[in-house]
Structure 1
Amino acid sequence: MTLDDLRVFVAVCRAGSLSAVARELDRTQSAVSQHVRRLEREAGVSLLERRPRGVVPTPAGRVLCDAASDSIAGLDLALRRLGDLVNGESGAVRVTTGGTTVRHFMSEAVVTFRRRYPKVSLEFRTETSSRGCFDALTTGNLDLAWVTIDGPVRGIEQHPVVSLPWALAVGADDPLAELSCVRTAELSDVSLIRLPGNSTSGARLDAAFAELGVRSSSDTSVADWDTALLLAELGLGHAVVPVLPGWDMPGDGPLRLVPVPDLPPLPVGWAVRRWDALSPLARAFAEAVARSCTERAAIRSTVRGGHGHDPHS
């Protein structure tokens, strides 16, 4: 039984698929299976149950997975701290997140962190959804994942940082652009630009619509909110979007953001395997991003309060 055996086994339990882990680790499926079989031989019990659409841990497999996850997290922390002792304020912080997240949420924190820790490498890995970030966090050698906060995820801690209000993005010449706010009931007759089904933020929006009895239609799907904004600006549709910190929307520009106050804010923040197992450098970066986001949110609220109902302040 090796540490690599345990890491691969935990990854398989998280992903529910031998082939997915093989792709993730750039190995053959046979090699992944060998790790599991070696553990099963040493444990003397079956650890995985094969199903038509993947695998799930047996009761014995869940026991081993939980124990191995805790042990690996603790070992990772020890190795990182040893590295800090050897390298001083150098090393790496590894983050997985969506393709546009760094610009919207982390740009100021990256600059601040770089000035404080000039020898530290910041490594970003792009995923297309929060689910992909969770999987990457549990199967890879990563510190942090920036995600839309979702329901409980086994083996993952989620720490909300900021809640994003929703707004309707429309072109400046659209009649809806003149409104001080839009009620969700008014969206029933509006065709919306939407995110694909695997998006956590899109799923939360759909759930909020369902709870409020809104039946909106959609004939356009995009990969991210930035693209939705662009299409709305070009007059190709309307989009209900979370108001991201990095957006700069002047009141006289081609795009308007009209608040949708009926919708519950969208919580976003950090996901980690164990917060207390983060290296000091990873914790410092996470705290720098959180501080930047909350400060910008406070500024946004203050400016909006000083400009009445102007959604672009």
Structure 2
Amino acid sequence: MRRTQTPIDLRALQAFVAVCETGSMTGAAKQLGVSQSAISQSVSALERDQGVALFDRDSRPPRPNIAGRALLELAGPLIEHAQMVSTRIGDASHAGKLPVRLGCVDSFAATVGPELIRAVSGSARQISLWSGLTPGLSKQLHDREIDVAVCTQTVLSDARIVEVPLFSEAFVVVVARSLLKERKNLDWRTLTLEMPMIRYTARSVIGQQVERFARHLGINSARRYEFDATDPLLSLVAAKLGFAISTPLCLWQARHYLDEIAVLPLPPSRLGRRDFFMLHRQGEWDDFAGEIVNLTRGVLDHSIQPALRRALPQLPEDALR
């Protein structure tokens, strides 16, 4: 029965190669900066693990035998590959040489995401961008499938995950612009009594948040229409088939509807805002996280918020902060 081979020990392999190159244990020890006994022990261990002698010990200086020559021929690529792996690990530990895997909720990815990519594209850093729902992104971060996550709700079960507040946005009532022109003094309470509420699906975090806030406000509209995305939701609002509760960022994501809709402010409440957080592991990607915070706030302040105010002058002052 053939003996199971022990995997090659790379340090012992380096010692073996050094002996072959220098022609002696003493020379190998000097080359590697270790003691002669350490070289002798490494070579003996390598021979023992592989079950073969590697040197013709009758020759002076010792020269590799047939097995030794075969190993010497294969040793170079093995050591070179090991050095490459070590270098890649070192690069990753500095968190600057590998692409950052950034996961974002859909509304963030579709609005702020392109500006982030544009801002970072001029640097040496690369970004791989994912989009999805908050629960899935949180799991991906925990499973190390992504490096940084932008979410709208956090339930931190891992003390090693750092939570950085990004920004907050207010929920607003969304209604057909033509309806407001017909009824200039229409307020949100009258509207919610007269029309059905068009909802985000309860499977989504925003759908659950809107539902809690609606109950807090006493809105008891029957469940008729539910959507996973803002586009179909706004198409029904624009057609005057109901009203919706949404957020500035979601409206900007579906901005081709902005000419057809208007917004009404809702009473201030702790439940009346959607908060965005950035999550990453402690001690990993800290510099990149700081870049994302600054870039995000810059995009909101100088690009998205001014454009929204021009399109929807009824937005509250603190709609995005």
> Normalising TM by the smaller chain, what interval?
0.5 to 0.7
Give the count of matched residue pairs. Answer: 227
Higher RCO, 1 or 2 (CA under 8 Å, sep at least 6)?
A: 1
Q: Provide the residue aligned with 1:260 in structure 2.
A: 266
Partner deviation per Cα, 1:164-215 (whole Å, 9 max, x = no partner): 1222222222248755784457524431111121211221221122223322
**Distance in 2 between residues matched to 1:121 and 1:309, nearest whole Å:** 37
**Where does the alignment leave 5 or more consecutive residues of structure 1 unmatched?**
1-78
Q: Provide the residue aligned with 1:138 in structure 2.
A: 142
Q: CA deviation at 1:137?
A: 1.1
**Distance in 2 between residues matched to 1:177 and 1:121, nearest whole Å:** 51
- SS at 1:174's partner residue? helix
What are the equivalent positions in structure 2 for 1:1-313 lying under 5 Å apart? 82-83=90-91, 90-115=97-122, 117=123, 119-127=124-132, 129-150=133-154, 152-155=155-158, 156-175=161-180, 179=184, 182-184=187-189, 186-244=191-249, 246=252, 253-262=259-268, 264-274=272-282, 276-278=283-285, 280-296=287-303, 299=306, 310-311=314-315
> For the aligned residues, what is the CA RMSD?
3.9
**Distance in 2 between residues matched to 1:230 and 1:82, nearest whole Å:** 51
- State whether residues 249 and 312 of structure 1, in contact with CA within 8 Å, keep that contact through their aligned partners in structure 2: no
**Distance in 2 between residues matched to 1:250 and 1:259, nearest whole Å:** 21
Q: CA deviation at 1:312?
A: 10
- State whether residues 199 and 233 of structure 2, in contact with CA within 8 Å, keep that contact through their aligned partners in structure 1: yes
- State whether residues 110 and 253 of structure 2, in contact with CA within 8 Å, keep that contact through their aligned partners in structure 1: no
- State whether residues 80 and 279 of structure 1, in contact with CA within 8 Å, keep that contact through their aligned partners in structure 2: no
**Distance in 1 between residues matched to 2:176 and 2:268, nearest whole Å:** 21
Q: CA deviation at 1:223?
A: 0.7
- SS at 1:253's partner residue? helix
% identical equivalent positions: 14
Which TM-score applies when normalising by structure 2?
A: 0.58
User: Does the C-alpha gap of structure 1 residues 225 and 176 become closer, same or farther in structure 2, counting only changes over 3 Å?
Assistant: farther
Larger Rg: 2
**Distance in 2 between residues matched to 1:312 and 1:271, nearest whole Å:** 28
User: Does the C-alpha gap of structure 1 residues 197 and 292 become closer, same or farther in structure 2, counting only changes over 3 Å?
Assistant: same
- SS at 1:229's partner residue? helix
**Distance in 1 between residues matched to 2:129 and 2:195, nearest whole Å:** 37
